A and B are shown apart, each in its own frame.
Chain A
Amino acid sequence: MAAGKSGNCKMLEPFKPPPSKRSRKERNRGKLPGSTPASEVMDQEIWKEFPEDLFEAVIARLPIATFFRFRSVCRKWNSLLESQSFSHHCAEIPQANPWFYTITHENMNVGAMYDPSTKKWHHPTISFLPAKMIALPVASVGGLVCFLDIGHRNFYVCNPLTQSFKELPARSVKVWSRVAVGMTLNGNSTDEGYKILWVGCDGEYEVYDSVKNSWSRPGSMPSNIKLPLSLNFRSQAISIDSTLYFMQSDPEGIVSYNMVSGVWKQFIIPAPIHLSDHTLAECEGRIMLVGLLTKNAATCVCIWELQKMTLLWKEVDRMPNIWCLEFYGKHVRMSCLGNKGLFMLSLRSRQMNRLVTYNVMSREWMKVPGCVLPRGRKRQWIACGTAFHPCLTATA
């Protein structure tokens, strides 16, 4: 089919939506000081003298996807992920918005990652999972995502960006029922290790320590916490400093575990009425709740914040009415895919899957473009996933 001549085509720029459709504020979002158009011609005479030791500082400040494109510049740039000094540079940069790692039902081995700052979906191939295994992302911390296979047996930890992964050793307790999972960092980054906790309804729990690469059973549930625990498994756990918080359905409230002291605590917090599909979330140490409020036929997404003094939920924000109208009269399910400062909510009715993000600090609701697998045409249904902080140097 080729004609006599063959040509070369090179991609100059990735897809950019037409600028006129975005407000100025949106266009400048994410732009940093000194932002210049990407196509500015750089004078080689000047820049060829750029000192070697400053490259790492510049590269660490590139957008994540750009970093991966530039790995083909030269071998040195390719090997930066293994460089200690590059790690230090990356650690110095303030953390950007989290990305979201989600599972699409069409192909479990191809993750769908959403970058909210460029509003783009990326599809890395997750190569470490055995074929046909379905593993769901259940927790994340410091750039690493913890996967649990559907049979609730094996844990995997992986950095979705670099594919650095580890299969955790088998647990000492055989648990066949659903477990809730939480993950914390020992220090400020994964270099100092991380811990993973799973807890089951019967009060059994174990903690994995990445430094020792083993599971341990630090103790048992205190007697004041009534068993069986009715954990709300649809909600992900949140971690604030070294404490994990899990949502409980009965009694309504939160159960917390401090990884350092090994202490379990229970908080009874009445849930708002007409609430469904609720999940715990957090932002800068504030505990929040995201859920659907359904009254008569109207459904709305609401955000509550926990008042620590009174242990009551106080409503702090709601999804704009216009968006809520889309679901009027329809039966809606919601899952919260990311619960650290920037939440991704997947709202599903019979024929529709609407994805939105909510930024707690700026109180902004934004629509998420549909996820289409490469070489596919259909928009994927997104129901399960977790937020993670994109970190080039996190290793499992």
Chain B
Amino acid sequence: MGSTSTKIKLRTSDQKVFEVEKAVAVQSQTIKYIYENGCPDSVIHVHSVSGDILSKILDYCKKHVNSAAGKEDISPEELYEWDANFVKVDQNTLFDLILAANCLKIESLLDLTCQTVANMIKGKRPEEIRTTFNIKNDYTIEAEEAVRRENKWAFDMLGGVGTMVIEELADDTMSKCVTNTKSRVCVIAANQIVMMRSISKLANKKSIDVYKQPQNPTTPRIKESVKQRNVGTGFIELFFHFKCKM
């Protein structure tokens, strides 16, 4: 006689009941603990998880249990792809999945979802992180500068191409760029000449591309005319002295 798999009943916050195999349910350390230390026959309440989310989580657990037990013929690469697709959900769902994985103590799912969030935020600037997570900036200006300086090496842009946001440019300086589509803007940043590629609609762009080394053959001209303002010949040069904030 084959072994009958034990089933566990789970009730969610919105009163939905799920019946799942024990092997799947105990992927959650929380459920495992309750099952082993409480009454195995009654229904386990998972208060903080809704039906939709639990349903998704059980899919995840089932997939992983089956692949580990060899019940499903799936290679590690395919499981990896499956996981990648599993977290391609809207932000609300992702958020709920993280909270549920944390609460239910499903380590691999928590790892997967936290990694997903890490990937989402890794390209952001510190200011954006603060806004997103509503974190208060408790640094003084000097302290913040000191921390940035201390960790400057992580910011280094070698071969220096990046995207800069120009903020607080006065309107009339911006409009000088806009009028001439061939205009190039020359900026002095941290005592280095940084030349920006020509842009036609600077006013509408929040960001423009920056080249650290001026592209020749205009280099000599730019360097020479650093002390001058308008050079003519289709070039309009605006000079800003600013600290390159990263």
Residue in contact with B163 in the complex, picked from A7, A11, A59, A72, CB distance below 8 Å: A11
Q: Is the CB of A1 within 8 A of B188?
A: yes
Contacts of B86 in A (CB 8 A): 33-34
Say yes or no for A221: interface residue by CB 8 A criterion.
no
Interface 9-mer from A73-81, A230-238, A260-268, A330-338: A73-81
Q: Report chain A residues within 8 Å CB of B168.
A: 6-8
Q: Mark A45-79, 1 if CB is under 8 A from B, else 0.
A: 01111110111011101111111111111110010
In the complex, A31→B87 CA distance in Å?
14
Q: Contacts of A63 on B, CB cut-off 8 Å?
A: 122
Name the residue of chain A whose CB is nearest to the CB of B129. A73
With A33-B116, A35-B84, A121-B156 given, can you name 8 additional A-B contacts, CB distance below 8 Å? A3-B239, A3-B241, A9-B240, A12-B165, A66-B154, A67-B154, A72-B126, A123-B156
* A318 CB within 8 Å of chain B: no
What distance in Å separates the Cβ of A39 from its nearest Cβ neighbour in chain B? 6
A123 CB contacts on chain B under 8 angstroms: 153, 156
Check B217 for interface membership: any CB of A closer than 8 A: no
Contact of B133 among A50, A71, A375 (CB under 8 A): A50
A374–B244 Cα distance when bound, in Å, is 15
Identify which of A10, A38, A75 contacts B165 (C-beta below 8 A). Answer: A10
B83 to A: closest C-beta gap in Å: 4
**B39 / chain A contacts, CB cutoff of 8 Å:** none
Residues of A within 8 A of B144 (CB): 72
Q: Which residues of A contact B156 (CB under 8 A)?
A: 121-123, 374
Q: A3-B239, A33-B80 are in contact. Are A15 and B92 (CB under 8 A)?
A: no
Residues on the B chain within 8 Å of A122, using CB: 153-154, 156
Contacting pair A58 B121 (CB below 8 A): yes
Contacts of A10 on B, CB cut-off 8 Å?
125, 127, 164-165, 167, 245-246
A19 within 8 A of B: no
Interface size for B (C-beta < 8 A) is 82
Which 6 residue pairs spanning A and B have beta carbons closest together? A38-B123, A34-B116, A34-B87, A68-B154, A48-B134, A2-B241
With A10-B246, A47-B133, A54-B102: A42-B164 Cβ-Cβ less than 8 Å: no
Tell yes or no: B234 within 8 A of A by CB: no
Taken residue by residue from 19 to 63, chain B's Cβ proximity to chain A (1 for < 8 Å, 0 otherwise) reads as: 000000000000000000000000000000000000000000000
Complex CA distance for A124 and B156, rounded to whole angstroms: 10
| Chain A min CB distance to B132 (Å) | 5
Does B112 lie at the interface of the complex (its beta carbon under 8 Å from any beta carbon of A)?
yes
Taking the complex as formed, is A24 at the interface, i.e. its CB lies under 8 A from any CB of chain B? Answer: no
Tell yes or no: B227 within 8 A of A by CB.
yes
Q: Pick the contact of B132: A3, A32, A47, A124 (CB < 8 A).
A: A47
Which residues of chain A are near B132, meaning CB under 8 Å? Answer: 42, 44, 47-48
Q: Is A40 an interface residue, CB under 8 A from the partner?
A: yes
Asked whether B161 lies within 8 Å of A15 as measured between CB atoms, the reply is yes
Chain B CB within 8 A of A13 CB: yes
**Contact, CB under 8 Å: B139 / A72:** yes
In contact, A71 and B151 (Cβ under 8 angstroms): yes
Residues of A near any B CB (own CB < 8 A):
1-15, 31-40, 42-44, 46-51, 53-55, 57-59, 61-75, 78, 92, 120-125, 369, 372, 374-375
Asked whether, in the complex, the Cβ of B114 is within 8 Å of the Cβ of A57, the reply is yes
The smallest beta-carbon distance between B102 and chain A, in angstroms, is: 6
Contact of B139 among A13, A44, A57, A75 (CB under 8 A): A75
- Tell me the bound Cα distance from A75 to B144 in angstroms: 9
Question: If the complex has contacts A8-B167, A69-B154, A75-B138, are A36 and B162 also in contact, measured as CB distance less than 8 A?
Answer: no
Known: A14-B157, A14-B162. A72 touches B99 (CB 8 A): no
Is B189 within 8 A of A54, CB to CB? no
**Which of chain A's residues have a CB closer than 8 A to the CB of B155?**
11, 14, 65, 69
> Does A7 contact B84, Cβ atoms closer than 8 Å?
no
Q: Which residues of B contact A55 (CB under 8 A)?
A: 133
Is B221 an interface residue when CB atoms closer than 8 A count as contact? no
Given contacts A11-B164, A15-B162, contact A69 B246 (CB under 8 A): yes
Cβ distance B196 to chain A, nearest Cβ, rounded Å: 10
Residues of A within 8 A of B246 (CB): 10-11, 69
Please report which residues of chain B, range 124-174, place their CB below 8 angstroms from some CB of chain A when the two chains form the complex.
124-127, 129-139, 144, 147-148, 150-151, 153-170, 173
Interface flag for B75 (CB, 8 Å): no
Contact A74 B138 (CB under 8 A): yes
A40 to B95, CA, bound (A): 15
In the assembled complex, the CB of B160 is this many whole angstroms from the nearest CB of chain A, namely 7
Q: Is B115 part of the binding interface, using a Cβ–Cβ cutoff of 8 Å?
A: yes
Q: Which of B129, B160, B166 meets A8, CB within 8 Å?
A: B166
